[in-house]
Chains A and B, each alone.
Chain A
Amino acid sequence: MRNGLKTIALGLALIAPVSFAGSGTTAEHIEAATAAYKKLAKESSYQWTTTVKAIKAAKKALEAGDDKGARKLAHQAMDLVEATRLQAKIESETWRMRVPK
């Protein structure tokens, strides 16, 4: 089961575009992921726990001086936001199929 679910999640994550390039400080990248997460939650009410976890982990890594690790986590969080956005879009277009008639 785990694997099946991971595949779905990975599928979503892979479709997500690479959100931003390498410029800016890591703190700014974390900031950007946080802002994107909040914006989407407000617009669509879709929000994943894993995004929050990635953001928290990024902050922690940065505080611990692991800039590279923190940056990677910030990008991961941004990818998760993009995957969430995609889910919200697909669902808003297709959910009515599931309603019995």
Chain B
Amino acid sequence: MKKVISSALVGTLSLGIAFGVSAGPVEDQAAFQKYYENKFPDTPTADFANGVYSILPTAREQWEAIEEFPPYEIAIEAGEAFYNKTFANGKSLADCFGPDGAVRNQYPKWDSDRGMVVTMELAINECLTANGEKPLKYKKGKITEVTAYMSFNSRGQEVDVKIPSDDPRALAAYENGKEHFYTKRGQLNFACADCHMLTAGNLYRADTTSPGFGHGTHWPVYRSKWQSMGTLHRRFGGCHKNIRANPYKAQGEEYRNLEYFVTYMSNGLTFNGPGARK
């Protein structure tokens, strides 16, 4: 492991020489995706939507077996029931998101009226509260059932996050997420990019790290370690805790901007949630 860290440090240094100043989102995205395509030449681009299994043939077989009887199936069914349940005012989530909720490719999106990133989870809660219902918790439980149902019905949609060029606040939110991804945090002094870019595919304790390309496609996830479903922001929090950084609030600005960046980097891949992971 020591070796991993020192090679990460050396990697950082040589990257520093190779790479110059910043560019816009379009150039960022091309360079980001190319980085992984070069690093993992055996992985077809579309396959990065499958997380660590896109680069780990040994674990893939086991994962494919799990996917045959997916552990998130119950969540989809429960989500469907909740989705169609009528609120006290006679409406339902379908009044906000259409008959089947297949709106995954509309999120995360920039809301120029409010000047903020809106995620699918946030939009669900806003629909609930606008109709006099109680909001859901953001990391696990009911919210993952609703998003499992909606994501399942959205399978096959293309990731196509937009950063409107006519609103500098959108670019600022993107830049904020980008900075978060590349800055070292926590007492252990790791950046997301250290584990999910520079050393993607290396072993950290018992887990091989997935490429950052593909991180936004498959949520929510049933994770064996959790023995339950979780949202992307739950996972962000877990990675932060692992490096001894205080997790940020799920659906707070920090994580919404991070999701905006991460998902934008995966543009062109296909939404394939819900997912199953170790």
Contacts and interface: CB of A to CB of B under 8 A. Distances in A.
Answer yes or no: are A and B bound together in one complex.
Answer: yes
Interface stretch (A26-34, A42-50, A56-64, A66-74): A42-50
A91 B19 CA distance: 16
A75 B212 CA distance: 38
Interface residues of B, number: 41
Nearest to A45: B254
Nearest to B194: A98
Contact of B22 (A9, A83, A99): A99
B226 interface: no
Interface stretch (B28-36, B79-87, B129-137, B156-164): B28-36
Contact of B31 (A52, A91, A95, A101): A101
Interface string B178-189: 110011111111
Contacts of B2: 1, 3-4
B218 to A, nearest CB: 23
B19 A99 contact: yes
Interface of A: 1-5, 8-9, 12, 41, 45-50, 52, 80, 83, 87, 90-92, 94-101
**Those 7 A-B pairs whose CB atoms lie nearest each other, nearest first:** A1-B1, A97-B16, A47-B246, A91-B183, A101-B19, A4-B2, A95-B182
7 contacts: A47-B245, A48-B187, A49-B241, A49-B246, A91-B185, A100-B35, A101-B19
